[in-house]
Structure 1
Amino acid sequence: MKTDLFRSAIAALALIAAPAVVHAHGSMKPQHGGMVQMTGETMFELVTGPKGVDVYLSEEDEPIPAASYTAKLTQTAAGKKTEAALKAAGGNKLSAPGFKAAKGAKIVVALIDKNGAKTFATFQTK
């Protein structure tokens, strides 16, 4: 009887703690209609469109100033690699205007902070 009560208590604690674990680093819901990847503590949101590619940076739902980084994206599609610089475009936004994201391409975003530390996020376009 004591064992069943103990197991029930552990199960209840696990259910209570689970939502806190899932949201420990903020929401993974896209804020700009793009695709989201988490790398370490940094959330990348890749937004592709007819005018180019934008990447938004955040950590625990707080925007990270894009001007603090240099960045580039590398697209691999149909066996060919294409690269473009991502430039700070205000707030937490990096942009590669005019860059065309191919359907089914692998896009890697490389982010380098002022200390030289590199962070990467990989996306697969649809």
Structure 2
Amino acid sequence: MLNRTLLTGLLALSFAAGNALAHGDAPHSAMKPANGGQVQATGSYQLELVVRKDSADAKDNPVALYVFDHDGNKVASSGLSGSATLLSAKEKVVVPLKADGDNRLAGSGRYASDPAMKAIVAVTVGDKTEHARFTPLQPGDGH
């Protein structure tokens, strides 16, 4: 009897842990991009990263990050800060992001629109920081 109870408890814990990890490790959000970018989920947010798509040369280009809750509702950007680290074969650029309107963080940095670009985004509120990874210029990777 004790072994059956212990086994049932362990199975319940493993399913709960698996569900928690599945949400946090999901590569994409179910939300469709509202601003032409790519959407990724974090523990607290759905983030849409928008970068310049047509800049052949590295120059000062905008970066925008839109913040939503998991129901797709806008999250006010006041009180939020962040950064976007843009990585390509030729360069690494860190773009500080500041509140810029309703649910948007924005900044600019010197980068080219490299189709192989990867981005690591950090969003901070208070002492809590969440991260998401993006491939913002990959075809078919709109969400």
Check whether TM > 0.5.
yes
Pair 76,98 (structure 1): closer, same or farther in 2 beyond 3 Å: closer
* Aligned: 1:33 with 2:45: no
Could you list the runs of 5+ residues in structure 1 that have no partner in the other structure?
1-25
Could you list the runs of 5+ residues in structure 2 that have no partner in the other structure?
1-28, 56-60, 138-143
* Aligned: 1:105 with 2:117: yes
Which of 64, 67, 80 is residue 54 of structure 1 equivalent to? 64
What is the DSSP-based 3-state SS (H/G/I as helix, E as strand, rest coil) of the residue aligned with 2:113?
Answer: coil
- Structure 1 match to 2:100: 89
Q: Distance in 2 between matches of 1:46 and 1:85?
A: 13
Greater Cα radius of gyration, structure 1 or 2: 1
Deviation by residue 1:10-67 (Cα, 9 ceiling, x = unmatched): xxxxxxxxxxxxxxxx951111111000111310001112651110000011111112
Larger RCO (CA under 8 A, 6+ residues apart) = 2
Q: Distance in 2 between matches of 1:92 and 1:41?
A: 14
TM norm structure 2: 0.63
Alignment check: 8 A CA contact 1:35 1:45 kept: yes
- Structure 1 match to 2:8: none
- Structure 2 match to 1:43: 46
- Which structure: greater strand fraction? 1
* Aligned: 1:119 with 2:130: yes
Alignment check: 8 A CA contact 2:85 2:121 kept: yes
Pair 101,34 (structure 1): closer, same or farther in 2 beyond 3 Å: farther
Alignment check: 8 A CA contact 2:120 2:131 kept: yes
Alpha-carbon offset, residue 81 of structure 1 = 1.9
Alpha-carbon offset, residue 70 of structure 1 = 1.4
**Aligned-residue CA RMSD in angstroms?**
2.0
Q: Give the number of equivalent residue pairs.
A: 100
The sequence identity of aligned pairs, in percent, is 30
Pair 99,28 (structure 1): closer, same or farther in 2 beyond 3 Å: farther
- Structure 2 match to 1:10: none
Alignment check: 8 A CA contact 1:74 1:109 kept: yes
